[in-house]
Structure 1
């Protein structure tokens, strides 16, 4: 089963950029499809592979920050090839 996940990591501290950059680079290093925009990062692929990666990388990201939150949306389909029809 393929999924699409949208992630927004928000460290609640002054020095927030290094943790976000590290998190995104770790996601990029996977064999999954990863897209970024200024507000979020999307990961696309097999459910088990995506969730295994996210379990490890979210834990590491939280260990690198003092305080923070992570918004996550999960869609049960691979939306990587999505193009608007309007």
Structure 2
């Protein structure tokens, strides 16, 4: 089953950019399709392989930060080729 996941990592600290960039680099270095915009990062793939990858990536990010919030949306389908038609 294909899924689309939108992620927004929010470190609750003054120097917040390096952990966000590190998290995005981890996602980019995967074999999954990754798209970025200024507010979030989307990653696309098969549920059974993507979810274990995300579990490890999120755990790694959380271990390196004292206080952090992660917003995640899951969609059942690959929405990576979505184009508005209006």
Q: State TM-score, norm by structure 1.
A: 0.97
Any runs of at least 4 consecutive aligned residues in structure 1 with deviations exceeding 4 A, and if so which? Answer: none
RMSD (Å) for aligned C-alpha atoms: 0.6
Secondary structure at 1:30 match in 2: coil
Unmatched 5+ residue regions in structure 2? none
Question: Partner residue of 1:79?
Answer: 79
Count of equivalent residues: 86
Measured after TM superposition, the shift of residue 52 of structure 1 is 1.1
Q: State TM-score, norm by structure 2.
A: 0.97
Unmatched 5+ residue regions in structure 1? none
Question: Partner residue of 1:56?
Answer: 56
